[in-house]
Amino acid sequence: MVKSAKIYTVLVIHGPNLGLLGQREPEVYGNVTLKQINVALHKLAEEHRIKLEIFQSNHEGEIVDAIGKSKGSFDAILINPAAYTHTSVAIRDAVSACSVPAVEVHLSNIYSREEFRHTSLIAPVAKGQISGFGKDSYLLGLLAIIRLLDSSPK
């Protein structure tokens, strides 16, 4: 992939309980920590001249606020809404309303898990969704954002 000619800014949002990665349910999420994911994202971003702002919250309203403030400050959003994927109309509406393209990511394959996890409220308003590749879901999501932004009309 050719490095982007423009410097983009991307907001990365990690949803609830992702701060516990590396400790919680390693059979589902593996042993990767949130810090390791963030380091890998920063490395990839630097290679592609992308500026990242990374945010993690267990609180729905804080996530909604961050999304709401993204217009005019960020070119795209990379979001793992975690459990809010399946429950938060507020986060869905914020993504829809902010007019900033978003890519939804998940460490696990949400479609191979419990039935209630098979529905994403966010996916219909996101540009795309990547799930099931562990830490690489985030990296693939960031690459998708770069490709999306590079191909959008200027």
Say what percent of the chain tops pLDDT 70. 90
- H helix or E strand, kind and range, residue 54: strand 50-56
Residue 2, pLDDT > 70, answer no
Return the closest-CA partner of residue 143 out of 128, 154, 123: 128
SS3 84: helix
Q: Against a cut of 0.85, is the pTM above it? A: yes
Q: In whole angstroms, what is the distance from residue 68 CA to residue 142 CA?
A: 20
Query: So which residues are the catalytic ones?
Result: 29, 106
Alpha helix (H) residue ranges in the chain: 26-29, 34-47, 60-68, 89-98, 135-151
Partners of residue 76 on adjacent β-strands: 10
What domains appear along the chain, each with residue ranges and CATH number? Answer: 8-151 (3.40.50.9100)
Place of tokens 């109309």: 89
Q: What is the pLDDT of residues 34-63, one digit of tens each?
A: 999 999 999 999 999 999 999 999 999 999
Largest CA distance in the chain: 44
